[in-house]
Amino acid sequence: MAINWFKYSSPQAFLPLAGRMIPWFSVAALASICVGLYIGFFVAPTDFQQGDSYRIIFVHVPAAWMSMFLYVVMAIWAGLGLGLNARPSFMMAQAIAPTGAMFTFLALLTGAMWGKPTWGAWWVWDARLTSELILLFQYIGIILLRASIDDLRRADRASAVLALVGVVNVPIIYFSVKWWNTLHQGASVTMTESKMATPMVAAMLIMMLGFWMYSFAVTLARMRCVILDRERQPSWSKHSSIHEVVEAR
């Protein structure tokens, strides 16, 4: 996002900005998901090998992408927080984690729903599936570690370190289908070539865009909650104007 986060990193500036942006991202998310579903179910043809089960791709791939991408974004905010000692960066990382965990869970669930008809098994201990499952445990670990430390500064730092260390798993997930012989199929679409019919690719990319917009909207909304919740913590210096900002919205 082409936004100068430092300019808006103070809670007083962030709250109204987030309030203005969330509706736009929500509308964009809803519109692209509707278009994506329409193309995915009514324009894209039935796959000659997998029949209609392949349509799971329209939620599976966007969810899996978001699970990895949100982890990287969360780790970047965590790293910025550690490097600059910037509280808003830690708060962004905190706001992203639950959405990332949800998409990881959905990627695994929809993967199981696809694996059963395609491979005959809900689950196999394949490199792609196992590393994605580890990603879910990482998200849960980061959320629980934060929740288990009462001191906010310590919680910020500890969960940021855990998030940064865990980022090593993301390339492992991404390249697992190349590095190992996996049951999981390789990438159907890369930057240079596509193995799928045009409407299939279009539906998948539009759904991905929708999940992106959804993630922006919901993490910004959660960021607002995190700011307001922390504002009530005695450890955080009180800015009286934050109440006026909330009232003004």
Partner 1 sequence: MQWGSASEFFAMGGYGLYVWVSFGATAVCMVWEVLAVWRRHASAVAESRGES
- Which residue in the set 11, 60, 96, 131 belongs to the binding site for partner 1 (CB under 8 A)? 60
Residues 34-61 as b/e (b if ≥16 CB within 10 A, e otherwise) read ebbbebbeeebeeeeeeeebbbbbbbbb
Q: Give the count of alpha carbons within 13 A of 197, CB side only.
A: 13
Which one of 4, 45, 48, 125 is in contact with partner 1 (CB under 8 A)?
A: 45
**Range in contact with partner 1 (rule: CB under 8 A) among 82-90, 133-141, 192-200, 226-234:** 226-234
Tokens of 30: 């809803």
Assess 52 for contact with partner 1 (CB under 8 A): yes
Nearest distance from residue 224's CB to partner 1, in Å?
Answer: 6
Q: Does the protein bind partner 1 through residue 119 (CB under 8 A)?
A: no
CA angle 246, 27, 62 (to 5 degrees): 110
Q: Which of residues 151-190 bind partner 1 (CB under 8 A)?
A: none
Question: Is 41 an interacting residue with respect to partner 1 (CB under 8 A)?
Answer: yes
Enter the DSSP assignment of 50.
T
Angle of CA points 249, 215, 113, to nearest 5°: 145
Q: Rounded to an integer, what distance in angstroms lies between the CA atom of residue 113 and that of residue 121?
A: 9
128 is a contact residue toward partner 1 (CB under 8 A)? no
CB nearer to partner 1: pick between 46 and 185:
46
Report, in Å, the least distance between residue 244 CB and partner 1. Answer: 8
42 binds partner 1 (CB under 8 A): yes
Residue 85: CB atoms within 10 Å: 12
Three-class secondary structure of residue 189 per DSSP: strand
Question: Which of 55-63, 141-149, 158-166, 181-189 is the region at the interface with partner 1 (rule: CB under 8 A)?
Answer: 55-63
User: Is residue 61 a contact point for partner 1 (CB under 8 A)?
Assistant: no
Q: Per rule CB under 8 A, is residue 113 in the interface with partner 1?
A: yes
Contact (CB, 8 A) for 98 and 222: yes
Shortest Å distance, C-beta 38 to partner 1: 11
The answer to whether 73 and 5 have CB atoms below 8 angstroms apart is no
Number of residues located near partner 1, criterion CB under 8 A: 38
- Smallest gap from Cβ 22 to partner 1, in A, equals 10
Whole-angstrom Cα distance, residue 124 to residue 118?
Answer: 12
> Is residue 106 near partner 1 by the rule CB under 8 A?
yes
**According to DSSP H, which parts of 9-151 are helical?**
11-38, 57-84, 87-119, 127-148
Residue 122 φ/ψ, nearest 5 degrees: -65, -35
Among 11, 55, 128, 169, binds partner 1 (CB under 8 A): 55
Footprint of partner 1 (CB under 8 A): 41-42, 45-46, 51-53, 55-56, 59-60, 63, 98-99, 102, 105-106, 109-110, 113-114, 116-117, 214, 218, 221-222, 224-225, 228-229, 231-232, 240, 242-243, 246-247
